[in-house]
Structure 1
Amino acid sequence: MKQKTILITILSILFGMLYAFKKGVFVAPKDEYAVLKLPEIVDYNFHIKPILSDNCYTCHGPDANKRKAGLRLDLEETAFSELPESLGEFPIVSKAPHNSKAYLAIVSDDPDVLMPPPNSNLALNTYEKRLIKKWIEQGAKFEKHWAYIPPKKNKPPRTEKTDWAENEIDAFVLQVLEANNLSPSARASEETLIRRISLDLTGLPPSPTQVQQLLADDSKENISKIIDAFLGSSAYGERMTQSWLDVARYADSHGYQDDSYRTMWPWRDWVIHAFNSNLPYDQFLTWQLAGDLLPNATKEQVLATGFNRNHPITQEGGVIQEEYRTNYVLDRTNTLGKGILGITLECAQCHDHKYDAISQRNYFEFFAFFNQVNEKGLQLDAVQAKNQKFFADPPYIEISKEESDDVLSFINMKKTPEIKVMVMNDSAPKTTYILNRGEYDQPTDSVQPATPEAIFPFSEKLPKNRLGLAQWLTDTKNPLTARVHVNRIWAMLFGKGLVETSEDFGVQGSLPTHPKLLDWLAVDFMEHGWDTKYLLKKIMLSATYQQKSELRPDLKKVDPDNKLLARAERFRMSGEMIRDYILATSGLLNPEIGGPSVKPYQPAGLWEETNAGGNRGVLTKYIPDEGDDLYRRSLYTLWKRTLPPPNMTIFDAPTRDFSEVRRQKTNTPLQALVLQNDVQILEAARVMAQRMIMEKPNNTDLVTDVFKRILIRAPKKKELLILDSYYQDALKLYKNNTEDAQKLIAVGDYEQLDTDVAKTAALMLTAQAIYNLDETITKE
């Protein structure tokens, strides 16, 4: 009966609204889009193109198979051309919206005329319609895609607030905030900034000694000194290398089914050295792409080209040589596109790119740069090699222990007398063909090495090889290279780039939230010699970077995703950083730089479950290392492509089968399970507890000291009450159950220290609880 009454009430309301509507007395909700202020100049790239892309390109875009009425709106010449089905009429007429059939269809009240059609479930709001009208009135100017226009260093804008900005970056950010009636956040505390800067530049938390020293200096230049201190740390190179390994698809195994071992870690040692030496980014790229082609190339420059040999290589019998050799060249081409140029080159492998101005011919002209290496799809002696651990597919270089003591002193050879490392060597001139549908066995027209005119023409003065390609990439007129690198650095510091799709600056990628700032940073970076340390310091000295991360109520409503940068960002650290953070704060971290990859703790049996290649090679059974190698930085953890380190993949690390610029961000129960049960974390909590008790047996502030060591700051009163109560309850429990306490602290291979068992167990659990806090694993 009650349900029937509710139904009658609802129907009465609906019939009442219908009657009022028919009588003309029903007042529709206010159209909020009708009152939004239009920009003074309507920009095609940032105002019009996104509207057309989202609402019109499905039927009137680049896909000829889906195009309707013969109308294409993504190209200027067709948008202004006479309609094939309506002679004498035009989609767009410059400065005449009411003569423009496309605009008239957009604003029509007739459902048979309205575009997009009602059944498409797409619709333009009033603001978007007004934008298009004003754009046409201003001449309907089409522009080249924004990312293909060389960046300009615009003068930082003037803002109403004059006492906040620390440098030019802030002026651009503040202009956007003021346009949205928002104010920036207050500056974060010194402790927060020290931790933030340390994590960003070294991937590690600051030590208690570092914090004390840095807090003791209250001068205005203190932050600058803090940044310099961490930039000068050898851990800086390791931090930067960690991100580059994803781009370079680095792994310690070949991939594919057999997934046998490869020796590429000397190239990783070079990357660490290059970052710590602050090798300018243009040289950093040139050496990796074409170090072997430089005049009088050094062995270090040749070693750098290992970047191009990090791709998967099959070791399986029965493969077609040319098919897999072609796959390797495709991989190098796609890595260049995604990792360095920020464009989806791979979309043009089988046909012309549907959205970006990249043809299939363009793709194979890029392909031609990497197609001159004397390599095979399968190197048979790799399968037959008894000691796969030190095998390398040709071409390769040999590095001796003597060289590592001299000209290649950055390579940590340990006890290895000699190593072979795969590199590039253009020793097999080949004619490159456009492959029909991208198939290796369907060559069509031949092509020469070249680059897309739409991005930046390839100069006739440049050599048509990888060195010429590197020079093209690092030309200051190239619109992409500096922008993409600057954006990736911004994403490293802020959690996401000014262009959120760091891997895609194309038409389907995200638009920059602060385009003028991105361009200013890109030009400024090039003007300062492609100096990455300079770029990092510039950003970190800005008031934008130094803000608090608190989500204010006004920001939660207007800008919950923090696209306008009115606060600092909060985001979970990578799996590698979380593990390193825990090792560092516990005192377990082995600071050794470089060398062969190591095998820390891993659940037993995983490799055996995924091994499909029989019992050949050294990667069929996982045997953890011993001693200090268990506590190396995660950068050095052995990376098997078919089964990467599980405690890192759970935190979204990629497989490294291909280049990855932007990791996924997930939040799953497995991540909590790792933090609660991983042997490495439990052992770290145990070792920290034992050491702190050993240092001060009668210390009554153990909980406070553990908290400060892990989180850098002192606990708040309420936090301390909760944690101290937890510690006291655990202590009471284990005093009466020493056998359980002994079982708990027995975790891990690190030596046991002679401390009170119950006290150790209680403090270990307290440390583990703090390691599990969101604040611990979050960079903010």
Structure 2
Amino acid sequence: MIAWRKKWILLCFFLLLAILFTCRYGFTGNTDIPPDVAQAMSNLPDKLDYNIHVKKILSDKCFSCHGPDSKKQKADLRLDVFNVAYNKTTGSGKKAISPGNIAKSEVAARILSDAAEYVMPTPASHLTLTANEKAIILKWIEQGAEYKPHWAFIAPEKNAPPDIHDVKWIKNEIDRFVLHRLEKEGLYPSAEADKETLIRRVSFDITGLPPTIAEIDAFVNDNTADAYERMIDNYFKSPRYGERMAAHWLDVARFADSHGYLDDKHRDASPWRDWVIEAYNKNLPYDKFITWQLAGDLLPNATKEQILATGFNRNQKQNTEAGIIPEEFRVEYNVDRTNTLGTGILGLTLGCAKCHDHKYDPVSQKDYYSLYAFFNSTFELGSSNYGNYSNMVPGPTLLLTSDNDDKKIDSLNAVIRYLEQNHQPEKSGNPQKSLSQKIIAHLSFDKTEIQKNAKGKPVEAFSNAIQPLQPAFANRIKSAKGILGNALLLDEETSVNFRPYGLGYFERYEPFAISIWLKAPESFKESAVLHHSDSRRYGFQGYDVMLFDNKVGFRIMHAYPHDAISIITNEEIEPGEWYHVAASYDGSSRAAGMRIYINGKPAAVTVEYDNLKKNIRSFPDIHKTSALTGLTFGARVLEKTMKEAALDEFCLFNNTIDETEAEWLYKNAAVTLYRDHSKALQQKPDSLMNARMQLAAVYDSAREAMVMGDLPKPLATHILLRGVYDNYGEEVKPETPAAVLSFPGNFPKNRLGLAKWLFLPEHPLTARVAVNHIWEMYFGRGLVKTSDDFGNQGEMPSHPELLDWLAVDFRENGWNIKQLQKTILMSATYRQQSVITPELQEKDPENILLARSSRYRMPAEMIRDNALAISGLLSAKIGGPSVYPYQPPGLWEALSDKSWRYIYRQSEGEDLFRRSIYTIVKRSSPPPYMLIFDAPDRNFCTVKRPVSSSPLQALALMNDPTFIEASKFVAARIIHEGGETPDDILALGFRLVTGRKPEIPEVKLLNEMYQSEKDAFKKHPGKAKNILAVGSAKMDQPDSTERLIEAAAYTNVIMALLNTDEFITRK
């Protein structure tokens, strides 16, 4: 009996525990809703929308563990897709989400629990849900938990603008959408801004520069109905428009004047920048603007302009350091291109899927590398060429010849073709005699002797039997039995080379030939037999004879492989056997002019590359960290030597050799050739060589630009596990994320196909993102606040119907950028004054509802250009290489371990006052003034700059020589133009700086400051002289101490005005 009673007591105890546990953890059929959550539910809209109300909460608080990233999912539960959320049965027996039933939804129980072991999000995540967020999730479940595709992945539709009660304010369709929202919120639009404000706003928004006084007066006094529209049209016609628009696009395109990374070698990408400016000025439609930049080189009959545009995808950082793994950085370059496509054009954070599935958006790692595959066949080296700044550009490149150059090229090529057709080399009837007339070097490698080097120091050398004064200097040599006597045995320490600039220092229009005996003990993957060229870092500039898996290669190069000609034999040479190798080149700059002879017979060859345009002579350069050597036997720097390989009986000729001569050299190794000086070919230019020299001069003088180009055969692309360059996973083909829009099967799977995909009518993102960028330019905030993220973590559009209407209208009107901008500028929404009332400050401090115009600090470029413009110093020159404005001394030296390589040389004359878009951007040391005003360093794609306010900005405006010099020129201008009294002079200064006429109290305040500064300078006239001495621009000096003091006092007043909110704010 007692035992039974104990069992009963225990049973009741455990039952009570179960009841308590159920009550605490929410397992009952009636989930209790806390009062604060219930209250929040009662305040919610009648109908909740998944995209508007629910998804952001789930994305922020749930998707990191229960989202798209398969590797991070907990409990195999996904809350981002309905079929899993509805059907997943949890440990409690409930579904994760039971549509329409809170009590049967495990999600509801979890978010309401206060038990650390049970509540979601977990305490370890440091995430919590507010009462309002819990209320939204619960009410959404109660209403059926309806999922919807992400708003940005649904194709935009052009719905009719809403009907409005008060139509008097309406100027165009934009205003209907804006006013409809304002009416719902119980707000009213602001009055139209005054004319002075409007023209200043429009001038900065379109050209990035202030209006002139004459332009302001003309607009203010023009009372015709179309005055405002004509003013807009006039600014759109200005070439300054292209510069203003390009300033934004250079951020997107991560444009800079250096490669980045440790060495941060300089580059000249200004031709691409000039193309961007011109494209905007020509109003190139946006679909062409993007297509040309992504795939201009793949267009049928692509023009130079279209190919140049592809420099967009060569703007990424490039590594030129020694010792890097080229493949690692080749991968990084394509990762950068993929991420830039995502951020700048698609508005997605694609880079989050590089190492794993995206945690928030439906973009898997496979999707990422499928997009990456569109760029993976770019014909590009991971280790960029490190040659001279202007002489060698990392390929692929485009030669920027002018129209006049092209005419010269066509004419010279016609002459060369004619001369080649009538220039038949004489067949050698006496090979020994003909060879003796063009031989310039013969090394037997039998023994060394002591000769003096260039410094007069006695060293070992192999005697040159043809020109004894041109020996080959030797160091730590080893010998082996040769084809005749001794041979040179190669190893890591062997060094044998002629003097730099001596024998064998050929240019690409000069014919030459090489003869050597070779024995390779094994198969070598890639090793130099001999070379007169730089290392891989310097593009192998020069020429070489190589072994590639024991196939003989002959290469002549400006920058390998993009600017080079190269042939390789089809057959290998056998290890351990002696072979006679001869290589001949006719000076034509074509692979057809190259020959390889093996054992006296022409070898069948494969042409590897056939595109030689620029010089092949290497020369000393500030970028080179290794000494320039002459013709050398064996490996180059950082290359593997053909260890234990033997070389013998080397001959060098200053003209071609034919088959008969090659055969004679093979069969007569024991016969010594002597120079026949009576008939020796001194390499005097004939008509053909002269024409080739002239052609080379045209090409060598032309600038080069980095562009895109694909390999003949696409590379295989794999998912890179954990994002590691050599950790291959599944192979993938070029595809686009299906969640965005599937890639059409009839499109080419290359960059051109990708560009076409972007501009399909049903594409959900391209037009929206572009419109949002433009809108943000004019309102300081996009219709989607997160301009770089239209995904689940991004903000919802403030006016979704307006965004979609503009996006479709943009597409329907041929992607016309200026028309889109004009539509925005003509709206009443844009024309509002920017004054913020107490009501708007309380209800809409960020101006999301657009009940007023926005006020925001101008970008760095506009502030500087504004000062230069009103001072009269601003240069009107458009385009060209970057310039070097004022900068604190020593910055580059302090931030570089190779400060001797690049010294900041301040520009002079007009270049010192170019627009800021032309300022050099060195990635490791960007312009300090620009950084202070939030310009990016351009290491990565940037679509939205931060806007900060710091004391450094005020200090820069007061101390940067640019602003001091501008102030003194403004002072000189107002003294000359302002009138007779200080009030009139100061009123003009105020108007130049702010764009409006001052009020009487403002003039009084300025006059008080002027008198104060004047009194101070009277006590210290030397300080007045110092302030007027700042800057490089020449100006007439005051002719008396009194006038000098006045000029300095006016200068200080202007400097104070430049530090006001009105000067740096677009309102």
Say yes or no: does 1:394 pair with 2:399.
no
Distance 1:124 1:353, change over 3 A: same
The answer (yes or no) to whether the contact 1:262–1:391 under 8 Å persists in 2 is no
How many angstroms apart in 2 are the aligned matches of 1:462 and 1:527? 22
Q: Secondary structure at the match of 1:388?
A: coil
Q: Kindly provide the amino acid, as one letter, of the partner of residue 742 in structure 1.
A: K
Once the two structures are superposed, the pairs formed by residues 371-390 of structure 1 within 5 Å of their partners are 371-379=376-384, 382-383=385-386, 385=387, 387-390=388-391
Q: Secondary structure at the match of 2:829?
A: coil
Once the two structures are superposed, the pairs formed by residues 153-172 of structure 1 within 5 Å of their partners are 153-172=158-177
Report the counterpart of residue 772 of structure 1 in structure 2.
Answer: 1059
- The structure that is strand-richer by fraction is 2
Once the two structures are superposed, the pairs formed by residues 11-410 of structure 1 within 5 Å of their partners are 33=40, 36=43, 38-39=45-46, 41-57=47-63, 60-62=66-68, 70-87=76-93, 89-103=94-108, 106=111, 122-126=128-132, 128=133, 131-379=136-384, 382-383=385-386, 385=387, 387-402=388-403
Q: Kindly provide the amino acid, as one letter, of the partner of residue 775 in structure 1.
A: E
Q: Secondary structure at the match of 2:729?
A: strand
Report the counterpart of residue 4 of structure 2 in structure 1.
Answer: none
What TM-score do the two structures reach when normalised by structure 1?
0.90
How many angstroms apart in 1 are the aligned matches of 2:716 and 2:75? 42
Shift of 1:31: 9.0
Q: Kindly provide the amino acid, as one letter, of the partner of residue 50 in structure 2.
A: Y
Alpha-carbon displacement from aligned partner over 1:201-224 (angstroms, at most 9, x marks no partner): 100000111111112211232221
Shift of 1:109: 8.9
Once the two structures are superposed, the pairs formed by residues 408-557 of structure 1 within 5 Å of their partners are 417-429=701-713, 430-557=715-842
Aligned CA RMSD, in angstroms, stands at 2.4
The answer (yes or no) to whether the contact 1:348–1:358 under 8 Å persists in 2 is yes
Alpha-carbon displacement from aligned partner over 1:29-79 (angstroms, at most 9, x marks no partner): 99984663515x421111111232344445544466765555432221121
The answer (yes or no) to whether the contact 2:348–2:790 under 8 Å persists in 1 is yes
Distance 1:696 1:496, change over 3 A: closer
Give the share of equivalent positions with the same residue, in percent: 48
Shift of 1:603: 0.6
Say yes or no: does 1:568 pair with 2:853.
yes
How many angstroms apart in 2 are the aligned matches of 1:336 and 1:121? 32
The answer (yes or no) to whether the contact 1:257–1:613 under 8 Å persists in 2 is no
Shift of 1:359: 1.1
How many angstroms apart in 1 are the aligned matches of 2:778 and 2:281? 18
Report the counterpart of residue 703 of structure 1 in structure 2.
Answer: 986
Report the counterpart of residue 1035 of structure 2 in structure 1.
Answer: 752
Shift of 1:149: 0.7
How many angstroms apart in 2 are the aligned matches of 1:112 and 1:312? 47
Shift of 1:459: 0.2
Shift of 1:443: 1.7
Q: Secondary structure at the match of 1:398?
A: strand
How many angstroms apart in 2 are the aligned matches of 1:273 and 1:280? 12
Report the counterpart of residue 673 of structure 2 in structure 1.
Answer: none
Shift of 1:160: 3.4
Distance 1:121 1:445, change over 3 A: closer
The answer (yes or no) to whether the contact 2:887–2:927 under 8 Å persists in 1 is yes
The answer (yes or no) to whether the contact 1:69–1:85 under 8 Å persists in 2 is no
Q: Secondary structure at the match of 2:1062?
A: coil
Say yes or no: does 1:761 pair with 2:761.
no
How many angstroms apart in 1 are the aligned matches of 2:407 and 2:185? 58
Distance 1:341 1:59, change over 3 A: closer
The answer (yes or no) to whether the contact 2:41–2:139 under 8 Å persists in 1 is no
Bigger radius of gyration, 1 or 2?
2
The answer (yes or no) to whether the contact 1:70–1:83 under 8 Å persists in 2 is no
How many angstroms apart in 2 are the aligned matches of 1:333 and 1:535? 27
Report the counterpart of residue 16 of structure 1 in structure 2.
Answer: none
The answer (yes or no) to whether the contact 2:349–2:789 under 8 Å persists in 1 is yes
Q: Which moved more, 1:142-151 or 1:96-105?
A: 96-105
- The structure that is helix-richer by fraction is 1
How many angstroms apart in 2 are the aligned matches of 1:748 and 1:495? 34
Q: Kindly provide the amino acid, as one letter, of the partner of residue 767 in structure 2.
A: A
Shift of 1:188: 1.0
Q: Which moved more, 1:208-217 or 1:582-591?
A: 208-217
Once the two structures are superposed, the pairs formed by residues 625-774 of structure 1 within 5 Å of their partners are 625-695=907-977, 698-700=980-982, 701-755=984-1038, 756-774=1043-1061
The answer (yes or no) to whether the contact 1:263–1:391 under 8 Å persists in 2 is no
Q: How many residues align?
A: 735
The answer (yes or no) to whether the contact 1:373–1:428 under 8 Å persists in 2 is no
The answer (yes or no) to whether the contact 1:401–1:417 under 8 Å persists in 2 is no
Q: Which moved more, 1:155-164 or 1:695-704?
A: 695-704
Q: Which moved more, 1:64-73 or 1:533-542?
A: 64-73
Shift of 1:403: 5.6
The answer (yes or no) to whether the contact 2:96–2:106 under 8 Å persists in 1 is yes
The answer (yes or no) to whether the contact 2:989–2:1054 under 8 Å persists in 1 is yes
What TM-score do the two structures reach when normalised by structure 2?
0.66
Which residue of 873, 884, 900 corresponds with 1:615? 900
Shift of 1:694: 3.2
How many angstroms apart in 1 are the aligned matches of 2:766 and 2:1047? 53
The answer (yes or no) to whether the contact 2:40–2:135 under 8 Å persists in 1 is no
Q: Which moved more, 1:159-168 or 1:53-62?
A: 53-62
How many angstroms apart in 2 are the aligned matches of 1:214 and 1:390? 50
Q: Secondary structure at the match of 1:776?
A: helix
Shift of 1:246: 0.5
The answer (yes or no) to whether the contact 1:350–1:436 under 8 Å persists in 2 is yes
Gaps of 5+ in 2: 1-34, 409-699
How many angstroms apart in 1 are the aligned matches of 2:313 and 2:118? 54
Shift of 1:153: 1.0
How many angstroms apart in 1 are the aligned matches of 2:1005 and 2:969? 23
Q: Which moved more, 1:673-682 or 1:178-187?
A: 178-187
Q: Secondary structure at the match of 1:747?
A: coil
Q: Secondary structure at the match of 1:80?
A: helix
Shift of 1:399: 1.1
How many angstroms apart in 1 are the aligned matches of 2:116 and 2:359? 30
Report the counterpart of residue 6 of structure 1 in structure 2.
Answer: none
Report the counterpart of residue 8 of structure 1 in structure 2.
Answer: none
Say yes or no: does 1:578 pair with 2:863.
yes
Alpha-carbon displacement from aligned partner over 1:535-568 (angstroms, at most 9, x marks no partner): 1111111111111111211111111122111111
Alpha-carbon displacement from aligned partner over 1:563-616 (angstroms, at most 9, x marks no partner): 111111111111111000100011110011111111111111111111223523
Shift of 1:447: 1.4
Q: Secondary structure at the match of 1:421?
A: strand
Q: Secondary structure at the match of 2:828?
A: coil
Q: Which moved more, 1:160-169 or 1:417-426?
A: 160-169
Gaps of 5+ in 1: 1-27, 408-415
Q: Secondary structure at the match of 1:544?
A: helix
Shift of 1:374: 1.7
How many angstroms apart in 2 are the aligned matches of 1:155 and 1:304? 37
Shift of 1:108: 6.9
Q: Kindly provide the amino acid, as one letter, of the partner of residue 85 in structure 1.
A: G
